[in-house]
Amino acid sequence: MAERDQPPIQDAGLTNQLADVPHRFIPQPILEPGHSFASITDHISSIILRRKTPIGWMIGFGISLLGLGILNVTIAKLLFVGVGIWGINHPVGWGFDILNFVWWIGIGHAGTLISAILLLLHQEWRTSINRFAEAMTLFAVAAAGLYPALHTGRPWFDYWLFPYPNTMAIWPQFRSPLMWDVFAVSTYAIVSLLFWYVGLIPDLATLRDRAGNKVARIIYGMGSLGWRGSAKHWHRYEHAYLLLAGLSTPLVLSVHTIVSFDFAVALLPGWHATFFPPYFVAGAIVAGFAMVLTLAIPLRKAFKLEGFITTKHLENMGKVMLATGLMVFYSYAVELFMAYYSGDPFERYTFINRLTGPYKHMWYALIICNGLAPNLMWVRRFRTSPMMLFITAQFVNVGMWLERFVIIPSSLSRDFLPSSWGTYHGTRWDWSMYIGSIGLFLFLLFLFIRFLPMISIFEMRTMLPEAQAHSAEEQH
């Protein structure tokens, strides 16, 4: 990370030197000038250790608790009555449950992308957003995992999904994409947790050394595993971190690929397409960046983190959202073209039905949200405006949900035999489950920002120019 072409910090001299250059060509800083190792440490750790709990946090946490309560009531009802409380039927056996599973899993992908792929690509601006993006991944995967677990109908037997020695002498069917999904999602959850925790260890040591309260010292001390910043430890640590990034990169691509196999391997018109994996991965990235923006913009405002999460970060995320949004839009076009080009009447009908059938308003809303709205990001003024970024991100959040609705119920409700056609609508329990899972996500997120550093302290220290030291041999 030491070598890179551009200076990571904009110094005062650079601005004067470039005084006659138009403003937009001057490199934007990724860390506000004037920070030191101490000020970075103090600012980020004081959010957790010093300040009284802000009233805004209390209100947000209260709202998330309400959502969590709705989730609990829904799950209790589901366990007593069964999946019949949802809108699923024949032929639409996958409704909101799978739709929301894919939506949440997709959102999770940006965290790993930021923490692993951008690390390998030496994108230093990732440093101030990777920690909470990784946390977002974990919480999104937790929310996602609820759905298939409950959709099995008898969730108390979910452990049958795992290969374990059993007296029934049976094994899971490893040729099924649904089993691939079990392995992909559980591996993803575990590896993301490890990656996040490894990143936290040095920061937990900082909190251990700075906490005034004895209980906090002990808890953070246990979490830090006795980290003391030894050069040998750092050497192995950085090695392990890079290896984890290298492992997570193909992993994150594999997860949404395998999620897309759940559909692509089925023979259903509208699902059975070889290009589903890249289409789903691009969708996951745009969804994830939209969610990172949704969280980052209010957080930087509330906790005065504009010096760490600068306009440059927001602009870069806007660019990623634009690029992946266009890939997704292209995928919609390819999907339509391939339906026409396949010559298959069932395939063609599925797409005519999407554009003109009972769910056509979903499809048009999808095109507005995912096809048109991200194009606002072509305009620099919008990319650098937190308000416009936030609004665009909301369009994408809704758009990605609509995309999965268009793929799942609209394809399932019109398969090969007109005699088995049906319609699908989410019931109020579907909606309460969805709202509840958002509550769970926010609940975990509020706990995270209160008790753990939402920006990686030690990695921010390395962004300062004085973090770069050189041996005598290197200097000449």
Partner 1 sequence: MAVGKRIEGLYGVIAEFHDAQELLTAANRTREAGYTSIDAFSPFPIHGLSDAIGFKHTKLSAIVLVTGILGGAGGFFMCWFANVIHYPLNIGGKPFNSWPAWIPITFETTVLLAAFGAVFGMLALNGLPMPYHPVFNVSRFEQASRDRFFLVIQARDPKFELKGVRDFLDSLHPREVTDVPW
Which of the residues 46 through 75 are near partner 1 (CB under 8 A)?
none
Single out the segment in contact with partner 1 by CB under 8 A; choices: 268-276, 381-389, 394-402, 463-471: 463-471
Taking CB under 8 A as the criterion, the residue among 54, 56, 229, 345 binding partner 1 is 229
Pick from 104, 171, 111, 173: nearest CA to 141: 104
CB of 46 to partner 1, least distance (A): 12
Give the whole-angstrom CA distance, residue 470 versus residue 466.
Answer: 11
Taking CB under 8 A as the criterion, the residue among 44, 136, 141, 191 binding partner 1 is 191
Taking CB under 8 A as the criterion, the residue among 17, 46, 230, 420 binding partner 1 is 230
What residues have CB less than 8 Å from 186, skipping those under 6 apart? none
Residue 458 interacts with partner 1 (CB under 8 A)? Answer: yes
CB of 73 to partner 1, least distance (A): 34
CB of 247 to partner 1, least distance (A): 5
Structure tokens at 180: 């691939």
CB of 307 to partner 1, least distance (A): 17
Considering only residues 325 through 384, tell me which ones interact with partner 1, judged by CB under 8 A. Answer: none
CB of 195 to partner 1, least distance (A): 8
Amino acid at position 212, single letter: G
User: Cβ distance 344 to 416 under 8 Å?
Assistant: no
User: Cβ distance 382 to 392 under 8 Å?
Assistant: yes
Beta-carbon count within 10 A of 297 CB: 18
Long-range CB contact pairs, 177-182, < 8 A, 24+: 177/258, 177/261, 177/262, 177/265, 178/262, 180/258, 180/261, 181/148, 181/258, 181/259, 181/261, 181/262
**Cβ distance to partner 1 smaller for residue 20 or 466:** 466
Give the whole-angstrom CA distance, residue 138 versus residue 140.
Answer: 5
CB of 459 to partner 1, least distance (A): 7
CB of 283 to partner 1, least distance (A): 19
Q: SS3 of 471, please?
A: coil
The sign of the CA dihedral 375, 377, 380, 381 is positive
Pick from 256, 305, 282: nearest CA to 449: 305
Q: Contact letters (x/-) for partner 1, 3-42, by CB under 8 A?
A: ---------------------------------xxx--xx
The whole-angstrom distance between residue 130's C-alpha and the CA centroid of its chain comes to 11
Q: Is 203 exposed, middle or buried (0-12, 13-18, 19+ CB in 10 A)?
A: buried
**Site size for partner 1, by CB under 8 A?**
72
CB of 464 to partner 1, least distance (A): 9
CB of 222 to partner 1, least distance (A): 8
Taking CB under 8 A as the criterion, the residue among 19, 170, 215, 417 binding partner 1 is 170
Single out the segment in contact with partner 1 by CB under 8 A; choices: 91-99, 358-366, 425-433, 457-465: 457-465
Residue 215 interacts with partner 1 (CB under 8 A)? Answer: no
Taking CB under 8 A as the criterion, the residue among 58, 76, 120, 243 binding partner 1 is 243
Q: Contact letters (x/-) for partner 1, 110-149, by CB under 8 A?
A: ----------------------------------------
Single out the segment in contact with partner 1 by CB under 8 A; choices: 4-12, 130-138, 236-244, 335-343: 236-244
Considering only residues 247 through 276, tell me which ones interact with partner 1, judged by CB under 8 A. Answer: 247-248, 250-251, 254, 258, 261
Considering only residues 396 through 435, tell me which ones interact with partner 1, judged by CB under 8 A. Answer: none
Give the whole-angstrom CA distance, residue 287 versus residue 312.
Answer: 20
Taking CB under 8 A as the criterion, the residue among 118, 143, 205, 412 binding partner 1 is 205
Question: Over the range 359-393, which residues count as b (16 or more CB within 10 Å of their CB) and which as e?
Answer: beebbebbbebbbebbebbeeeebbbbbebbbebb
Q: Around 53, how many Cα atoms within 13 Å sit in the side-chain half-sphere?
A: 11
**Cβ distance to partner 1 smaller for residue 70 or 463:** 463
Residue 459 interacts with partner 1 (CB under 8 A)? Answer: yes
